[in-house]
Every structure is written in structure tokens, then in C-alpha cells.
A and B are shown apart, each in its own frame.
Chain A
Amino acid sequence: MDKFTCSALVTLVTEYLEGSLSPGENEQFEVHLKRCPPCDVYLVQIQQTIRACGRLDLGAIDARARAALMDAFQDWKAAR
């Protein structure tokens, strides 16, 4: 029996990817996925979203702030 509707699957997608569904739920999730191409597309989209995030960076530290920190490191080293 397919307990999961498509709308339910969408709400569980993060739990599925985090591995926090119970074994039974996990199986039902995957059964639904096999029978339902749109939900499979949705899961792939979420994975593609995660991959796109992984290509971002937060930007580098300002060069002057970095230099000030390295001076502080040398002071710390000297004072030990």
C-alpha cells in the first residue's frame, strides 16, 4: 500500500536525505518514488539545489582584517 501522497513525500524529503526516516517510512518513500516520476524529478531538483549551494562561498576575509589577525597571532606567540 502506498501511504505517501506526493504532497506528503515533499514534506519528508529532507528527513529522507538526512537518513532520519524509520526503515518502514524509508521503504515506503522509495516505493512511492519508483512509481511516481514527478516526485523523482522533485527529489533530483532538491539534490541539484543542494549541489548549487555547495558551489557558493561566503567570500574571503578583508585583507586588512586578516593582516591584523596575523599580527595578533605573532603577539600571542611572543607573549607565551
Chain B
Amino acid sequence: MSDGESTATATLLTGDEAALLARLRDGEQSAFEELVDQYHSAIVRFARLYVPTQELAEDVAQETWMGVLRGLDRFEGRSTLKTWIFRIAANRAQTKGKREARTIPFAALGSAEAGSDEAVDVDRFLPIEDGEHPGGWSTLPTNWDEQPEGRLLSEETLRVVREAIETLPPMQAMVITLRDIQQWASTEVREALDISEANQRVLLHRARIKVRRALEQYFAGTQRNGASADG
């Protein structure tokens, strides 16, 4: 934003969001349904970063929607609707999380993950001192397009992806969920999770690398088992 201060409509809302907001304020239930269907599951997932059980996360999501309704008439569009909703969710989740002894502080989660598991995938490469091909591949990646027809997007493959994401550290799982499942922009993820651009990228990188590796292992396994596994 540059010199838009003087204009009354200095809003960060996208056109779609502005239209949705207008319908909400007109009391159109279908607009609220759209919003809930779009974000509820992501809010529950998000809340799980702060609270220890799925049930509490569902409570946080319910409270978030109450907060959204209460704040709707005062919302000025200084952030996107999405960011605003997730800020409300963060507040509710933190409040609830503080009441739960087992909750790990949110910021600690993010920074601990950013510092750990540096050595992802390094075992795949020749040492940097290698005379022939320093830092080159020791085990070549195989072309997945050679997988049997449709294998790449089969239900089974998607199950492997889903399970790989579930085993990621919480912040990595959250970032890849918002970026690659929910297709949010990086700035939206950064704002919702209150993390830096660099941290967002590192978390996304580690998450994608691990999911890729899970797929690679899965494809290698099904290849070795050959036709019998397909039949």
C-alpha cells in the first residue's frame, strides 16, 4: 500500500471477500455457510497447534465463529477476511490453550522446528570432496511419470500423502496444509500463523521434502512388488 491513507476505502479485502462480507452483513445465511465450509476444518487444524485435544479444537472453532459474528459489523477490512478470522481463532485458541497445562507455547513450536532436522535428504548425495561429481546424486531420483497409469493421483497415493503430512511436526504440517492443500498464498499463511517469510519457507520446504520422500518410498515399494501388487 502506498498513499492510500486518505481514501475511506483503504481495504485489503479481495473482490470476492468484499462481496461475501456484504452478503453476510445483509444477513444472507448462504454467505455464512460458504465461509464456514471454506474455513472451519482449517481452523480446527490450526487450533490443534494450541490445544491438546480434537474436541477442544472444535470448541475453539465454534467460538471463533461466534467471535466472527460479534465482530462482523465492526470489521473494517484492514486485513483480509481470512486473516481476520484466523486472528480471532488464534486468540481463542491461545486463551483455551493457556488453561491446558500440556500446551507448548506456540512460538517455541515454530522456532524449534525451524532449527531441527537440517539434514533432510543429504544421504542421497556424494560427498562434496568427491572427485567425479562433488555433491552429486548417489541414488538418482526416478521419474514418477513412468508409474502405471493413474498411480500418481490414485486414492492410495493420496492416502500416502495424507499420512505423511500427519506425521510431520505440527508447524510443518500446518504450513503445508495451508499452502498446498488449502492453496493459500505465502503472505496469508505468514499472517495467519504470525511467522516470518523465511520461517514460512523453511517449514514449507521441510514439509514438502518429507512428503516427497514418503511418495518416493511408496512408489519404490510398489515397483519392487511388481505386477502382483497391482493385480
Which residues on A are within 8 Å of B, measured CB to CB?
A: 5-8, 10-11, 13-15, 18, 20, 38-39, 41-42, 44-46, 48-62, 65-66, 68-70, 72-74, 76-77, 80
Smallest distance from the beta carbon of A70 to chain B beta carbons, Å? 6
Pick the contact of A69 from B62, B136, B143, B204 — CB < 8 Å?
B62
- Say whether A66 contacts B201, CB under 8 Å: no
- In angstroms, Cα B135 to Cα A50, docked, is 25
Pick the contact of A45 from B124, B161, B216 — CB < 8 Å?
B216
Whether a CB of chain A sits under 8 angstroms from the CB of B85 is no
Sample 17 A-B pairs with CB under 8 A, ordered by A number: A5-B136, A6-B135, A7-B124, A10-B209, A14-B205, A42-B141, A48-B144, A48-B215, A54-B180, A56-B181, A58-B45, A59-B41, A60-B37, A62-B58, A73-B29, A80-B27, A80-B73
Interface of B is mostly: helix
Which residues on B are within 8 Å of A, measured CB to CB?
A: 27, 29, 32-33, 36-37, 40-42, 44-45, 58, 61-62, 65-66, 69-70, 72-73, 121-122, 124-125, 128, 133-137, 140-145, 152-153, 157-158, 161-162, 165, 176-177, 180-183, 186, 197, 201, 204-205, 208-209, 211-212, 215-216
- Say whether B141 contacts A13, CB under 8 Å: no
Contacts of B161 in A (CB 8 A): 49, 52-53, 56
Contacts of B197 in A (CB 8 A): 20
With both beta carbons as reference points, the residue of chain A lying nearest to B122 in the complex is identified as: A7
Given contacts A48-B144, A65-B62, A69-B62, 12 further A-B contacts (CB under 8 A): A6-B133, A7-B136, A18-B186, A38-B137, A52-B152, A53-B165, A56-B165, A59-B41, A60-B37, A61-B36, A62-B58, A69-B36
On whether A60 and B41 interact (CB within 8 A), knowing A53-B181, A68-B62, A74-B29, the answer reads yes
- In angstroms, Cα B179 to Cα A51, docked, is 11
- In angstroms, Cα B125 to Cα A39, docked, is 12
- In angstroms, Cα B208 to Cα A51, docked, is 11
Contacts of A54 in B (CB 8 A): 180-181, 183
- Say whether B66 contacts A72, CB under 8 Å: yes
With both beta carbons as reference points, the residue of chain A lying nearest to B180 in the complex is identified as: A53
- Say whether B69 contacts A52, CB under 8 Å: no
- Say whether B135 contacts A5, CB under 8 Å: yes
Smallest distance from the beta carbon of B35 to chain A beta carbons, Å? 10
Closest 9 pairs (CB-CB, A-B): A5-B135, A53-B180, A58-B41, A14-B205, A7-B125, A7-B135, A76-B69, A77-B27, A61-B40
- Say whether B181 contacts A58, CB under 8 Å: yes
